[in-house]
Structure formats: C-alpha cells, structure tokens
C-alpha cells in the first residue's frame, strides 16, 4: 500500500508569481530584479524549451540515441541557473539543459552526448558546469567534495562578492533515495560545506511516483541532517531565482549547506525511451499544464504592459534561428575517430593500450586496403 503524500500547493511552498501571472509577496524571499530581467528570463525559458523540443524531434528522426526532456522544468532551471555567480560551480544530472544554457554551454555539446559522439564535449572549468552525471546521485558527493575544496581554498565567508563561492548539486526526487545522496547530506553538514542541493521534484522517477521515494515532503529531509530545507514553486521562475539566490548566499557566507526542493512536474517522458501513458493519468498532466512556467511569465508581461507583440515575435524568431542551427549542425556532426577510444583512458598512457591501438588501427586500415583491391 502506498503512503499518503501531500502532492501540491502546501502552505510552505514559496511562490512569487502565480500561474495566472500575478506577483505575490513572501515574508522571507523577495525577487529583487527589474522587469527587464524578467523579460530576459522569458527569453531563456523559451530558448530552453526550444532546445528541448528540437532535441526530442531529432531523437524521433533517428539523429539522437536518446534524449532526457526537461519539458515543464524550465523555470526551476532558469531561476536557479540565473542565481549563480561566475565563480560558482554546478554539478548537474543529465537533464540540466536550462542550467547549461545559463552557464553558456553550447547546446550542441549536450546534443552530442545524446547523439553518442562523446560523453560531453565541454570544458567544465571554463563554464563552472561539470559534465552530466548519469549514475543517480553520484554527483552530490562530488559537489560536496568540491565545496570542501572551496572551503580549503579560503573562498567562503570573506565578504568579497567576487571571491566567495558556492557549489550546486542538482538532483531529482528519485535520487533522494540513494545512499550517496544521504552521505552527501552528512558530509556537507558535518564539514559545513558551501553546497546547495537543488532537488527538482518532478514527481516521477521514470515510472515510480514520489510516494515510492518518500513519506515526507523532500525539503523536510534536510532537518534530519541538521541543515535548512525550503520548498519553492518550481514552475515559478521568480521564486526559484529568489530562493536559490538566498541559499547560495548562505553557502557563500559560510552558513553551510541548504536544500532547495523545487516542486515541479515532468511534462514528458523520463527519456525518449519510456511511455508515461503506462504509468500516469492524463488528469494529472492537465492539472500541471495550468501551471506552465512559460505561460505565467508571458501573462505577467502582457497583463502589465511590459512587453509588446514585437518582443514576443522576436523571442520566437530567436528560438527559430537556434532550432535551425541545432538541426543542421546535429546532422553535420561527424562521427568520432574510433582510434580515440584508446587515448585518454589515463593521463599517462599504458603499454597495453598502445599495443591494442596499434593493432586496431592496422586492422581497421586493412578493410580500406581490401576495398581498394576489389
């Protein structure tokens, strides 16, 4: 039997922008940017959704092996991603396409990973954005260790905004069941590491509902480990920004870890490989469609006369241009050189791999030689 679980709209949910596009005040969290910034967020949200839509279609056309869609989670990612400073460091899962966008990572690098040409061809140090981690929850420990390094580097609590550094680990609701995540909570709190655990509770771990992961709201887990947790409306880009910004500042100031639970919903499948109609009801989807993270920002901008039709047309045009770029560049992406698999297994090459590579290169070339003869 499944335990009861409060599914949504609990009083503790921090919300600053309603699904209808109305601003709300919260006693602890305020959105401190101007309306131009909100227009910028809207641009980010639309671009991110378009990256997702295009990649999904490329997968359906056989151009990608698989794709993990972020549809519905754009606000959680853009809000938290835009709250980061340049020196902060992000440890993503495999679904943080919106955070990657905020960090300046080329979407084609994400697509390349899902196409299977490499395991993520971007420089994590350049963007402050680690490679995608596929094993659920493993990255939360990496984030904690990295934060312990930041601490040892003396980059916490100096009151220098250019120096003080926070680390963010993204994870999903399913990941909270993993041992590694619980170990990360323990290490981060006993060492007071400057790390923010940003859970996107999208309600589903592939086909398993949140009831299979927890009997309490996830943000309350933190208190058992001895650090604060907060639940935010994950479909509200203003609230996710404000809450994450506060959490990051606490970490940077030396206040230790914070858990942010962004309460959101995965509108699509877990990946292009599964079929959500087998495990969830249409009613639920319809309920969450009314909370769409893009629609409410648009409603706010329109309702208050902050953006005209030309603005929205321009955003769409930008998205169209990006989409066309992604389509043509993906199709033009060359297959990697197979001999590369023997390189960079280690920093210092081994005789064994040198030998295997030499054999393989000759073997491979023999087919080309045969083809010339015939």
Partner 1 sequence: MPQFVLSKAINAALRRAMEDDPKVLVMGEDVGKLGGVFRVTDGLQKDFGEDRVIDTPLAESGIIGTAVGLALRGYRPVCEIQFDGFVYPAYDQIVSQVAKMNFRSRGRLKMPIVIRIPFGGGIGAVEHHSESPEGYFTHTAGLKVVAVSNPEDAYWMLQQAIASDDPVIYFEPKRRYYEKAEIDTSATQAPFPLHASRVVREGTDVTLLCYGPMVKTCLEAAAAAEEEGRSLEVIDLRTLSPLDLGPVYESVRRTGRAITVHEAPMTLGLGAELAARITEQCFFSLEAPVLRVGGFDTPYPAAKLEEDYLPDLDRVLDAVDRTLAF
DSSP letter string, 135-197: STTHHHHHHHHHHHHHHHTT-SSSS-TTT---EEEEEETGGGGSHHHHHHHHHHHHTT--EEE
Measured CA to CA in angstroms, residue 245 lies from 31, 126, 168, 210 at distances of 10, 22, 11, 26
Q: Which stretch binds partner 1 (CB under 8 A): 25-33, 97-105, 113-121, 275-283?
A: 113-121
Nearer to partner 1, 135 or 206 (CB): 135
Q: How far is the CB of 13 from partner 1 (least distance, A)?
A: 31
Nearer to partner 1, 190 or 281 (CB): 190
Is residue 123 part of the contact set for partner 1 (CB under 8 A)? yes
Nearer to partner 1, 23 or 119 (CB): 119
Q: Which of 6, 161, 186, 339 binds partner 1 (CB under 8 A)?
A: 186
Q: How far is the CB of 151 from partner 1 (least distance, A)?
A: 8
Is residue 145 part of the contact set for partner 1 (CB under 8 A)? yes
Q: In what order do the strands lie in the sheet with 258-263?
A: 89-91, 167-172, 195-201, 258-263, 229-233
Q: Provide CB contacts within 8 A for 192, sequence distance 6+.
A: 151, 254, 255, 256, 257
Q: Provide CB contacts within 8 A for 248, sequence distance 6+.
A: 83, 84, 85, 88, 166, 168, 196
DSSP 8-state secondary structure symbol assigned to residue 17 = B
Q: Which of 59, 73, 144, 264 binds partner 1 (CB under 8 A)?
A: 144
Is residue 350 part of the contact set for partner 1 (CB under 8 A)? yes
142 given a catalytic annotation: no
Nearer to partner 1, 6 or 339 (CB): 339
What DSSP element (H or E) covers 230? strand 229-233
Q: Provide CB contacts within 8 A for 103, sequence distance 6+.
A: 81, 84, 90, 127, 128, 129
Burial grade of 2 (CB within 10 A; 0-12, 13-18, 19 or more):
exposed
Q: Which residues are registered as beta bridge partners of 199?
A: 171, 261
270 given a catalytic annotation: yes
Q: Which of 149, 157, 209, 254 binds partner 1 (CB under 8 A)?
A: 149
Q: 204-205 and 208-209: which strand pairing?
A: antiparallel
Q: Of 24, 163, 279, 327, which residue is the catalytic one?
A: 279
Is residue 147 part of the contact set for partner 1 (CB under 8 A)? yes
Is residue 259 part of the contact set for partner 1 (CB under 8 A)? no
Is residue 347 part of the contact set for partner 1 (CB under 8 A)? yes
Q: Which of 4, 11, 179, 334 binds partner 1 (CB under 8 A)?
A: 179
With both helix axes pointing from N to C terminus, report the angle between 293-303 and 74-82 in degrees, rounded to the nearest 10. 70
Is residue 339 part of the contact set for partner 1 (CB under 8 A)? no
Q: Which of 148, 156, 218, 247 binds partner 1 (CB under 8 A)?
A: 148
279 given a catalytic annotation: yes
Q: Which stretch binds partner 1 (CB under 8 A): 19-27, 122-130, 207-215, 273-281?
A: 122-130
The footprint of partner 1 (CB under 8 A) covers 91, 118-121, 123-125, 130-131, 133, 135, 138, 140-150, 152-153, 179-180, 183-184, 186-187, 190, 343-348, 350-352
Q: Which residues are catalytic?
A: 266, 270, 279
């Amino acid at each position: 039997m499944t335990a009861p679980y409060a599914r949504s709209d609990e009083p503790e949910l921090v919300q600053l922008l309603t699904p209808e596009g109305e601003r709300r005040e919260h006693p602890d969290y305020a959105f401190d940017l101007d309306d131009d910034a909100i227009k910028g967020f809207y641009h980010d949200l639309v671009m991110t959704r378009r990256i997702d839509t295009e990649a999904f279609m490329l997968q359906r056309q056989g151009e990608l092996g698989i794709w993990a869609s972020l549809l519905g989670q754009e606000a959680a990612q853009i809000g938290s991603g835009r709250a980061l400073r340049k020196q902060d460091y992000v440890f993503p899962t495999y679904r943080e396409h919106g955070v990657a966008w905020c960090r300046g990572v080329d979407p084609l690098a994400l697509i390349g990973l899902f196409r299977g040409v490499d395991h993520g061809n971007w420089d994590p140090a350049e963007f402050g954005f680690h490679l995608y981690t596929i094993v659920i929850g493993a990255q939360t420990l990496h984030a904690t260790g990295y934060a312990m390094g930041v601490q040892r580097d003396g980059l916490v609590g100096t009151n220098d905004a250019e120096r003080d550094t926070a680390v963010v680990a993204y994870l999903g609701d399913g990941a909270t069941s993993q041992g590694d995540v619980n170990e990360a909570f323990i290490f981060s709190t006993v060492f007071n590491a400057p790390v923010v655990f940003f859970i996107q509770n999208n309600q589903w771990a592939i086909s398993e509902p949140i009831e299979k992961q927890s009997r309490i709201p996830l943000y309350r887990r933190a208190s058992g480990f001895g650090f604060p947790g907060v639940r935010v409306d994950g479909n509200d880009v203003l609230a996710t920004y404000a809450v994450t910004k506060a959490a990051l500042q606490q970490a940077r100031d030396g206040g230790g870890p914070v858990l942010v639970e962004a309460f959101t919903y995965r509108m699509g499948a877990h990946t292009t490989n599964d079929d959500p109609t087998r495990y969830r009801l249409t009613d639920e989807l319809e309920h969450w469609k009314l909370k769409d993270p893009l629609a409410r920002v648009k409603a706010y901008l329109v309702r208050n006369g902050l953006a005209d039709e030309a603005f929205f047309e321009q955003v769409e045009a930008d998205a169209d241009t990006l989409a066309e770029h992604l389509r043509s560049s993906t199709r033009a992406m060359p297959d990697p050189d197979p001999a590369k698999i023997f390189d960079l297994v280690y920093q210092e090459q081994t005789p064994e791999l040198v030998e295997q590579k030499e054999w393989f290169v000759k073997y491979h070339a023999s087919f080309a030689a045969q083809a010339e003869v015939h």
